[in-house]
Structure 1
Amino acid sequence: MTDLSIMQRTSAPHDRGTRTFGLVDVTLRDAHQCLWSTRMTTSTMTPILGAIDRVGYAYVNILGGAVFDVCVRYLQENPWRRVGLLCDRLATPCDGLTRGQSLYTFELFPDDIVALNSSVLAGLGLSVLTVYDALNDNRNIVSSVRSAHEAGMKVNAMLTYTLSPVHTDAYYVERAKELVALRADFISVKDPTGLLTPERGRTLFPALVAAVGEIPLQLHSHAQSGLAPEVYEVAMAAGFSLGHTAVTPLANGASLPAAQEIDARATRQGFATNVDLAALAEVSDYFDWVCERDDKPRGRVAEYDPALYEHQVPGGMISNLKSQLATMNMAHRLPEILEEAAQVRRDLGYPILVSPFAQYIITQAVLNVVQGERYKTIPDEVRKYAMGYYGRLAAQPADVFLERARIRDDERVEEAPAAHLAPAVPRLRAQLGVSASDEDILLAAFYSPELLAPLKKSEPAYEDKTSPLAEMIRYLGAQRDLTHARVRFGGMDMTLSAARG
């Protein structure tokens, strides 16, 4: 697909005479991050890429901070290899997400590391760099936007959504105007916890459409409240161009809404989506089979829970918290911790519960509950947040917190976070030697040699095609004793019973 055809397809919705709405697929990134703890391997992805290409997506999102980090820490896969392989095999243009000045980890990196990262991603074939800052401090994405454009990529800049007295429609309009000034190619509303409601969308979305002019708007809203599909309809009607979705069974719950449902809703409203439903069914069948084969959870449509709008903790984080509390025989204290998390968030000036601040808020809440005293212990990262080390706060922290944190006036940071970071690339090049590639330089900036050592192993030759039937036959051939199995093929559930000697 040429760049011209991509532009025609993605920018057409801003022509009010054309009713089209494109889909961005997040199955290979955010969906398994939410439902499978980011554990989808490259070998699981590659066999179904041909069918994903035939669906008709505008873009396929293949990279994010957690994906990059889990590749290194847990899957022992080289993330650069994955990005290059997927960009090479997918004809649909690929999109990758970074966390602004933090890129893939929770640490802040200097501008020269950010720029080198953009250059490497563009060289691997990435078409769009999606970037956000967890505080909506757009000073933290300037170097990402600039370097991505210099490397030849388009930029999708995100507004991270939350609910609080200070995160008003006017607040988001001002942040959107800053992104317009940065010359973003797309602007997205990122709703990581699924807090958007149709009512809020009816005021916020038209205000953003008016503020951004001809820049196409995208919606990325998780399905944790159960309201996301209705919110997507409101976005379509307001003039949004693209919506982020996942295929069943990796949609819904803590993930994003199902591509099938959003496609159906768009069609009923008279929008063209360019979606090939047969190809979409093939992709869904494949991942349904993977769920069965690997005993992976499927996303379920969430029930509306008013408590979500108080604690605002993403579903994936609640699952991890439950698991950790269970190991400490504290599972019964989860409601108390979630209630405390809501109070901590208020006291800290309403940070958005997205990485890394979601982790900071939960950690502080657990400490408060376990110690029986609020802010008896304050982690260094929480103090640094309150000092402005990570960026500009949406609101001043409460006096009760500031008194316990004992932050001196000379500790407060007013400048952009990257301003106090020295360049790192010259030091790393001298350290690693002339034979080190740009990819090596970046990995060394992010991780210790011990974590990187397993990446030196040779990787398998990834398969490039499959079908649910082929997967079923391969699975059966590997079993010595098969007594009962459930498979899905051609949209039909089947139960197999067999015995082999």
Structure 2
Amino acid sequence: MTALKLVDVTMRDGNQSLWGATGLNTAHMLQAAALTEACGFRAVDFTSSSHMAVAVRYFQNDPWERIRRMHAATPTTPLQFITTGLRFIAWQQADPEFMRLVYRHLQLNGIGRFVLLDPMHEVPAVIDAARLVKEEGSAEVMCALTFTLSEFHTDEFYANFARAVGQSKDVDLFYIKDPSGLLSVDRVRTLAPAVKAAIGNRPLEIHAHTTIGQGMLSSLEAAKLGVSAIHVGVGPGGDGSSLPEANRMLANLEEAGHTVDIDRDALAKLTSYWSRLAAAEGLPPGTPQNFDGSFLRHQIAGGVMTTTKRQLEELGLGDRLGAVIAETEQVRAELGYPIMVTPFPQMVMSQALFNVIGTKRYAQVSDQVIRYVMGKFGKPTSPVDTRILDTIMDRPRARELEDEPTFPELGDLKRQFGTRMPDEEFLLRAVMPGEQVDAMLSAGRSRATYSPEAAPVLSLLRKLAAGPEARDVVIERPGLRIALHAGAAA
């Protein structure tokens, strides 16, 4: 029997699900690189265009540099990039030639595996993106079968989609992606064989969140049915609304008689590092979850739930979370049951939030929801409720968005920003506020080292040095000197 592999999601999906995508910066990741490489993971779920934007916006970290340096430190472990089709950071579907440039530079910097996730399961969109990836490099391409519960998303639906996408020679493997943790053991027993029959000898992986306690068991069942790899989070980056925790998954797989290709000593050391970092940075670790049947209705992904909870608490409305969750279920039904995977959970739950805290339902509607009902994200699986459609479209902003320009062609963007600008900077400026890119460039090269033990001390020193009475702070002891001058560490 072929040994199972593990895919580490800690840095991207674990970070997003548990810590709102803002828990880890470049130094945190680079410090984990050698141990991650030593583990022998099948791949590392490393980044996405949204995570690249977070690196710029919140940390002033250059995301291209982050990929490049991580790849140099993990040369035999493919770094994975997940994308929802021909989009990069901006909501709009980009010019294919612009995306060609994106895929080229992602691969030049070290991305070795792409996940292509089309929320509408549109076959041409996946095939076109796969072709562009392969024309610009040699990275693996994995097609996502994004699981949800509805009368439309049957085993036959997923098998037919996989079979159609599998006609492309540019798609190397598939995975069942369960972002909301809805996949039960019983459903795995019928879904996995149906998909495997459709894809032939191409590998199938499983990515099942543990939001309502099912991800561990459904992944273990998938292992019996012949999947090649299971996606896990390490230590505090697993469980909760993330993926099954790696050490517990490993123990359970071995208890069931499976052989797992992983370096156990390296995994133990990596687990220790992430645990110490989470404690030092105040990042709450994922914890095993009890089953919650309400998720089968509202289907809110863990990262979106975490972000919305934080937003409500910041507004002093933490007690309204239950009402927002209930409203999310209603909004999703009215919008035609979109699969709750990026960008749709953000749209649906934000609309539910507006409906709960506003004067009346749909009094405030985001541009993204307007674009969605217009069909600019693809055709909804089920028609939008006609009353809600009329309510959304009967406003001036809807008429403005009907006539908004499409994403500019690559040549026009090049002329706008100047042909001498480096491609990596150009790709960020084309889709992000210029002042955020300026701040990133001014910050310079990211730190490569991080010590969880030193983090609290350095944080305290920075706070002291930032005060008006303390321009210089120095701590000295035999063999150690830490000095901050005018707010900068020395």
* TM-score grouping bracket, smaller chain normalisation: 0.7 to 0.9
CA shift for structure 1 position 209: 0.8
CA shift for structure 1 position 156: 1.0
Number of matched pairs: 449
Distance 2:447 2:349 in 1: 41
Alpha-carbon distance change, 448 to 374 in structure 1, aligned in 2, over 3 angstroms: closer
Distance 2:26 2:355 in 1: 40
- Structure 1 match to 2:67: 83
Amino acid corresponding to residue 223 of structure 2 in structure 1: M
Distance 1:380 1:296 in 2: 32
Alpha-carbon distance change, 479 to 65 in structure 1, aligned in 2, over 3 angstroms: closer
CA shift for structure 1 position 113: 1.4
Greater than 4 Å deviation, 4+ residue runs: 420-423, 474-481
- Structure 1 match to 2:51: 67
Question: Does the alignment pair 1:456 with 2:441?
Answer: yes
- Structure 2 match to 1:161: 147
- Structure 1 match to 2:465: none
Alpha-carbon distance change, 321 to 480 in structure 1, aligned in 2, over 3 angstroms: closer
Alpha-carbon distance change, 80 to 400 in structure 1, aligned in 2, over 3 angstroms: same
Aligned partner of residue 324 in structure 1, secondary structure: helix
Give 5+ residue unaligned stretches, structure 1. 1-17, 413-419, 482-501
**What is the correspondence of 1:85-124 to structure 2 with a 5 Å cutoff?**
85-91=69-75, 92-124=77-109
Distance 2:242 2:90 in 1: 21
Alpha-carbon distance change, 437 to 270 in structure 1, aligned in 2, over 3 angstroms: same
Is the 1:130–1:156 Cα contact (8 Å) retained in structure 2?
yes
Is the 1:209–1:238 Cα contact (8 Å) retained in structure 2?
no
Query: Which segment drifts farther, 431-440 or 40-49?
Result: 431-440
Distance 1:134 1:259 in 2: 27
Amino acid corresponding to residue 155 of structure 1 in structure 2: V
Alpha-carbon distance change, 480 to 321 in structure 1, aligned in 2, over 3 angstroms: closer
Distance 1:212 1:440 in 2: 39
Alpha-carbon distance change, 210 to 440 in structure 1, aligned in 2, over 3 angstroms: same
Question: Does the alignment pair 1:439 with 2:433?
Answer: no
The CA RMSD measured in Å over matched residues stands at: 2.4
CA shift for structure 1 position 324: 2.1
Give 5+ residue unaligned stretches, structure 2. 400-404, 462-490
Amino acid corresponding to residue 231 of structure 1 in structure 2: S
Is the 1:98–1:104 Cα contact (8 Å) retained in structure 2?
no
Alpha-carbon distance change, 406 to 454 in structure 1, aligned in 2, over 3 angstroms: closer
- Structure 1 match to 2:270: 283
Distance 1:461 1:387 in 2: 44
**Residue among 242, 255, 261 paired with 2:229:** 242
Alpha-carbon distance change, 460 to 383 in structure 1, aligned in 2, over 3 angstroms: closer
Instruction: Calculate the TM-score normalised by the size of structure 2.
Output: 0.86
Is the 1:69–1:105 Cα contact (8 Å) retained in structure 2?
no
Distance 1:480 1:128 in 2: 40
Amino acid corresponding to residue 43 of structure 1 in structure 2: A
Deviations along 1:194-220, one digit per CA (max 9) or x if unpaired, are 111111111111111111111111111
Distance 1:225 1:479 in 2: 35
Is the 1:65–1:99 Cα contact (8 Å) retained in structure 2?
no
Amino acid corresponding to residue 20 of structure 2 in structure 1: S
- Structure 1 match to 2:7: 24
Aligned partner of residue 20 in structure 1, secondary structure: coil
CA shift for structure 1 position 233: 1.2
Aligned partner of residue 166 in structure 2, secondary structure: helix
Question: Does the alignment pair 1:133 with 2:118?
Answer: yes
CA shift for structure 1 position 232: 0.5
Is the 2:92–2:406 Cα contact (8 Å) retained in structure 1?
no
Distance 2:218 2:229 in 1: 13
Amino acid corresponding to residue 20 of structure 1 in structure 2: A
Deviations along 1:288-312, one digit per CA (max 9) or x if unpaired, are 1111222221111111111111111
Aligned partner of residue 420 in structure 2, secondary structure: coil
Question: Does the alignment pair 1:312 with 2:312?
Answer: no
